[in-house]
Amino acid sequence: MSLLFLFSCCPPEVVTFPQNVEQVSEIAILCNDNEIPLIPFGSGTGLEGGINAVKGGVCVDLTHMNEILSVNPEDFDCTVQSGVTRMQLNNYLRDTGLWFPIDPGADASLCGMCSTSASGTNAVRYGTMRENVLNLEVVLADGRVINTAGKGRRTKKTSAGYNLTNLFVGSEGTLGIITKASLKLFGIPEATVSAVCHFPDVQGAVDTTVQVLQCGIPIARIEFLDEVSIDAVNKYSKMDMKVAPSLFLEFTGTPSSLDEQAALVADLCSMNNGSDFKWAKDPEERSHLWKARHDILYACMALKPGSKPYSTDVCVPVSKLPEIIKRSKEEITKAGVCDSFMLGHVGDGNFHTLFLADPNNPEEVQIVKDVSNKIAEMSLEMNGTCTGEHGIGQGKRELLVQEIGETGIQVMKQIKQTLDPKGIMNPAKVFY
């Protein structure tokens, strides 16, 4: 994707637009027989170069398979084809009182989100894609079609054998092509309010987050933005927030439970020298606030025209969050990277450092690569992961080895070998 600078763009030789699972299967058979790489394409918003055709081959663009196949309101689930996007699903659900909460900052396809195990601002409350998939229909490299939980099944729990659904979640197109997903749905909460709170320093914001979680407050969203991110948001989304490290918060529930949660969190904020809450109570105000949060990549890019972004994606046990954020800031200062922004889904221990660099300036690009690696290695040292939600793609293959260990990688490669013996599925991703 043109957004990224760390991976040079490798277009495929052929792009196909299958209309149904049978056609996907036929494409797989043709590619497998001729040992041609097969690259699934959801909506192209992935941030780790996942759709790059590094070894050429056939791109399977799933955007035409965009039907919502069923919604079962009484069971809180639905089944969609691979090209359905999260916003398309939520628009469709609008009148049912239900929604699908996983919300990466882009309107990604739901099966693409399964493939990267995506999350977003709601994961602290609802979990990631991993916790919200009930069943997947997958076309394997040799064209066989499987339903990971058995055809049509959509139970909340099962003890029936290996969890094949989980195997395909996060597999980034290296094991098969997901053509259908059954997903959990949730009732829209009775009442919702959002608030912004500013802090004199990063530590105060992050300490507050950790304390909110440790108190077991069922917060719906808790997002950290540092002062430069706030400045970018102010300019891009025409807001006038105080330029300081901040938390964006959301509370949901019954009106009374909401008051109680908000009071507790307000106490914790003020103990850490946070400002009073600035409330966003009506729906327009709330959606403006969260749209501004989701648009942050574009907000930052607007500050340095011609630059391209790269984002780190580490996730640590929440108790380690204050330390890794502090040490990351030190590394960034030491390296002299000028354009960097810190923000994160801090409720999950997941934060991003967004760098802007001139793709034609090799020195700048190298610094960003080095600092990103350093931050990921610090996370691994703290028993964290190098990627909370973006995936391994092309750039983090070495880090994956460090994270999982040689034996773990061997087992992953054995699974890959069994399902895709000719290595046609999205080659050179996840592993070398």
Ligand X SMILES: *[C@@H]1O[C@H](CO)[C@@H](O)[C@H](O)[C@H]1NC(C)=O
Ligand Y SMILES: Cc1cc2nc3c(=O)[nH]c(=O)nc-3n(C[C@H](O)[C@H](O)[C@H](O)COP(=O)(O)OP(=O)(O)OC[C@H]3O[C@@H](n4cnc5c(N)ncnc54)[C@H](O)[C@@H]3O)c2cc1C
Residues 121-160 as x/- pattern, contact with ligand Y by CB under 6 A: ----------------------------------------
3-state percent breakdown (helix, strand, coil) of the chain, nearest 5: 40, 20, 40
Which of ligand Y, ligand X, none does 262 bind, CB closer than 5 to 8 A by kind? none
At its nearest, how many Å lie between ligand X and the CB of residue 377?
Answer: 12
Among 8-16, 164-172, 278-286, 404-412, the segment contacting ligand X (CB under 6 A): 164-172
Q: What is the C-alpha separation between 260 and 345, in angstroms, rounded?
A: 23
Q: Which residues pair with 176 in a beta bridge?
A: 140
**CB-CB neighbours of 164 under 10 Å:** 17
Q: Phi-psi category of 17—alpha, beta or left, where left has phi over 0 and alpha has psi -120 to 50?
A: beta
For ligand Y, which residue of 12, 112, 274, 349 counts as binding (CB under 6 A)? 112
Which of ligand Y, ligand X, none does 131 bind, CB closer than 5 to 8 A by kind? ligand X
DSSP string over 181-250: EEEE-EEPPSEEEEEEEE-SSHHHHHHHHHHHHHTT---SEEEEE-HHHHHHHHHHTT----SS-EEEEE
At its nearest, how many Å lie between ligand Y and the CB of residue 271?
Answer: 29
Which tokens in the block code for residue 98?
A: 């239900």
At its nearest, how many Å lie between ligand Y and the CB of residue 28?
Answer: 11
3-class secondary structure, 247: strand
For ligand X, which residue of 20, 72, 360, 383 counts as binding (CB under 6 A)? 383
For ligand X, which residue of 273, 275, 373, 402 counts as binding (CB under 6 A)? 273
Among 21-29, 157-165, 219-227, 366-374, the segment contacting ligand X (CB under 6 A): 157-165
Residue 265's contacts (CB-CB under 8 Å, 6 or more residues apart) are 208, 212, 217, 219, 249, 251
Chain positions contacting ligand Y, by CB under 6 A: 39-47, 50-51, 62, 82, 104-106, 108-109, 111-113, 115-116, 118-120, 172-173, 177-178, 297, 389-390, 426, 429
Chain positions contacting ligand X, by CB under 6 A: 130-131, 133, 157-158, 163, 165-166, 169, 204, 272-273, 382-383
